Amino acid sequence: MKPKVAIFSLTGCEGCSLAILELEDRLLDILDAVEVVNFREGMTERTWDIDIGFVDGAVSTPQDETEVRHIREHCTTLVAIGACACLGGLNTLKNHQPEEDYRRYVYGDRAEWFPTITARPISSVVKVDYELPGCPMIKEEFLRFVTHALAGRTFTLPDHAVCVECKKRGNLCLYEKGEICLGPMTRAGCDAICPTYGSKCEACRGILNEDVLKAAGINLREQYNVELDDVLADLQLFGAYQAKALP
């Protein structure tokens, strides 16, 4: 029996779901090994007997909250894919602003038609078994997860920071140029793509943990005379929800 797989989207651009369709030739191998039973982006038939459910998008409306509880009830294993589902992601930008302001800005005089709540990761509402972070999620990491799941092996994310991958690529550190970068405390796995192309890391894969954060704070002060609070002030694009929980 092939495992039954479903892919769902809450509030987000659905880019992580689309990334699955973009796997092209590798998608055919996956389709050989699993049965896709529910995927709005790719099929019209839907059933609710699901072994592995992937969810992209954040919980950002009352409907998202209801939907993710329903999804959880029907999936043996639930996997959050992308920064929106894992962290709240870009949706948490609204959390900095008065609700009345952003609702009027987006929906004008029809704001009342569209109820909204604080944007947050799906793990704040239901139990999540695995997370594949990033904006969008990293396709190779998705394939690695599927391979592990099919073989019955436990999947783990890299437990080191983006700086490790950045240094392996031989990049000049942005701190050397007087810029701020969240790489020292952000989970690796993206091959440090942003600093490699000259942009700071904005932590789309989330802050690793408190120990790494503390160590990064000490290093940044000693090496570059930069305070951790100033670095974390930059954690606005993807990590506003996570930032609130940091010490």
CB of 19 to ligand SF4, least distance (A): 7
Cβ distance 149 to 77 under 8 Å?
Answer: yes
Enumerate binding residues for ligand SF4 (CB under 6 A). Answer: 12-16, 56-57, 82-84, 89-90, 134-136, 162-163, 166-167, 171, 173-175, 181, 183-184, 186, 190, 192-195, 201-205
CB of 97 to ligand SF4, least distance (A): 18
CB of 112 to ligand SF4, least distance (A): 26
**Shortest Cβ contact with ligand SF4: which residue?**
183
CB of 122 to ligand SF4, least distance (A): 12
Task: Return the bridge partners of 38, or none.
Answer: 6, 46
What is the β-pairing status of strands 75-81 and 130-132? Answer: parallel
Q: Which is nearer to ligand SF4, 26 or 167 (CB)?
A: 167
Q: Which is nearer to ligand SF4, 23 or 150 (CB)?
A: 23
Q: Which is nearer to ligand SF4, 145 or 175 (CB)?
A: 175
Reading the block at residue 116, the tokens are 């909204």
Query: Dihedral sign, CA of 143, 42, 55, 111?
Result: positive
CB of 137 to ligand SF4, least distance (A): 6
Q: Which is nearer to ligand SF4, 146 or 162 (CB)?
A: 162
Closest CA to 204 of 56, 68, 88: 88
User: CA 181 to CA 93: how far, in whole Å?
Assistant: 19
Reading the block at residue 135, the tokens are 């904006």
DSSP secondary structure letter of residue 220: H
Q: Which is nearer to ligand SF4, 83 or 146 (CB)?
A: 83
Which residues in 20-72 belong to E strands, given as ranges? 35-39, 50-56
